Structure 1
Amino acid sequence: MHRVLDRCHRTLFAALSLIGVRGQERLLHWYFDWWHRRPDPWGLAVDEYEQFKYATTLEQLPARHYGRILDVGCSEGAFTHRLAAAYPHADVTGADISERALARARTPVPGPAPRFVRLNIVTAPPADRFDLVFCAELLYYLGRPRQLRRACAHLTAAVAPGGLLVLVHPWPEARRFCAYIEAAADVRRVTEHVERGTGRPFAVSVYEAAATAGRHAAGHRAAGRLARPGRQTGRGA
């Protein structure tokens, strides 16, 4: 049943992407504000599967210093606050398209306080660069290749030279998103964990940006050349 619902979900958002970038932005803004009419609509702060996925994601990170961290598609900030607790000396930012979700994310909680900003990753990259960028359960909302190319180019542009980009998406669909990332910039995959031990398999794919200043311009050129990603980039755990 879950797979059937997922398929219907993907079909809906693929259809929405046909109206163009600006129209899609308005609809997604409305859609996620509507979902967030009540707190934590997907149970991200309490669901056992989500908590397991958060812990699994953090386990894949190399042990290093991360001065600036970005969580793209943060919703009400459940994972963003977890990042702030795990890296208390880092400057942690959560970004989302829904203003209603961000208003709840800004509610004070014990511990380090992240900051939260509104962002549509399709229309614009973040204003700054970060040592660690997360994008989880987001890319399948974007539908068409054009939007995916733009979003992935903006994600990779947000990563500081030598920084990490972490994708977390359902498996094996994650393979398709990885192909866009690998075409968007000079990045290399440093690790990938595929979790099959749940009824909803997912992949955590970690990429490292090249430590060169000119990689972003090359990345945007590569993004424009990618029409249909054909490579399978995922591999088993």
Structure 2
Amino acid sequence: MSVPTVFFDQLYADNPDPWAFKARWYEERKRALTLASLPRQHYGATYEPGCANGELSAGLARRTDWLLCSDAADRAVELAQKRLSHCSNVEVRHSRLPADWPVRSGFDLIVLSELGYYLDTDDLLTLIEQAMNSLLPGGQLLACHWRPAIEGCPLTGDRVHALLHATLGLPKLAQHREDDFVLEVWGRSPDSVASLEGLK
């Protein structure tokens, strides 16, 4: 069973930043690495489910024409809307995945940051299928997850990434692995950043 929405509602009940995204150097550094790992300088349409209070979203908003963010927790949606209120290219929605995957023509980038281990295997596989069906030609998917086991979560970050790699069946464009977290990018096209700029 995937982690219920009430778990996230309780986290935000007394704390607008339950994971200390704004306070911890660990989180600031991970955001910088996440954004630096994106192979393209700019994207057309981006989807970031599980956006929490919108800290990573603010960086993504500068790299895309249109950013859709979503979260299952009402308070997280409110905080993200406030954090991103200055960004005219951002829409924040309330949704629980995989049931509420957005209906639109497609995305150039999908970002799954610290989300996958809250889903059980069946829900994660459904989400991966939805992501694949939503990726436009040349589209890319970035995933970043904490690696140690989390009490109450059905999966570990390593298991999430193993399922992503096996199920997506796409070329891996970037990989960064530390004791704490793993960050990977897959794309429909195998072209590297250097090759796209004619350097090889």
Q: After alignment, is 68-77 or 104-113 more displaced?
A: 104-113
Query: Judging changes above 3 Å, is the alpha-carbon distance between structure 1 residues 30 and 171 closer, same or farther for their aligned structure 2 residues?
Result: closer
Task: Give runs of aligned pairs for residues 215-230 of structure 1, distance below 5 A.
Answer: none
What residue in structure 2 maps to residue 115 of structure 1?
Answer: 91
Q: After alignment, is 146-155 or 162-171 more displaced?
A: 146-155
What is the CA deviation profile of residues 162-210 of structure 1, one whole-angstrom value per residue up to 9, with x for unaligned ones? Answer: 11100101247444222322343442211111134xxxx2111000036
1:29 aligns with 2:8: no
Task: Give runs of aligned pairs for residues 74-223 of structure 1, distance below 5 A.
Answer: 74-84=51-61, 86-87=62-63, 90-107=65-82, 111-113=86-88, 114-128=90-104, 129-143=106-120, 145-171=121-147, 173-196=156-179, 201-209=180-188
What residue in structure 2 maps to residue 225 of structure 1?
Answer: none
TM-score by length of 2: 0.79
Question: Which protein has the bigger helix share?
Answer: 1
Distance 2:87 2:140 in 1: 22
Helix, strand or coil for the counterpart of 1:62? coil
Structure 2: state its 5+ residue gaps: 149-155, 191-200
TM-score by length of 1: 0.68
Q: Which amino acid aligns with 2:8?
A: F
The Cα of 1:94 is off from its aligned counterpart by 1.0
Contact 1:32/1:98, CA 8 A, preserved across alignment: yes
Contact 1:142/1:148, CA 8 A, preserved across alignment: yes
Task: Give runs of aligned pairs for residues 55-66 of structure 1, distance below 5 A.
Answer: 55-66=32-43
Which structure has the larger Rg? 1
The Cα of 1:110 is off from its aligned counterpart by 7.1
Aligned residues: 180
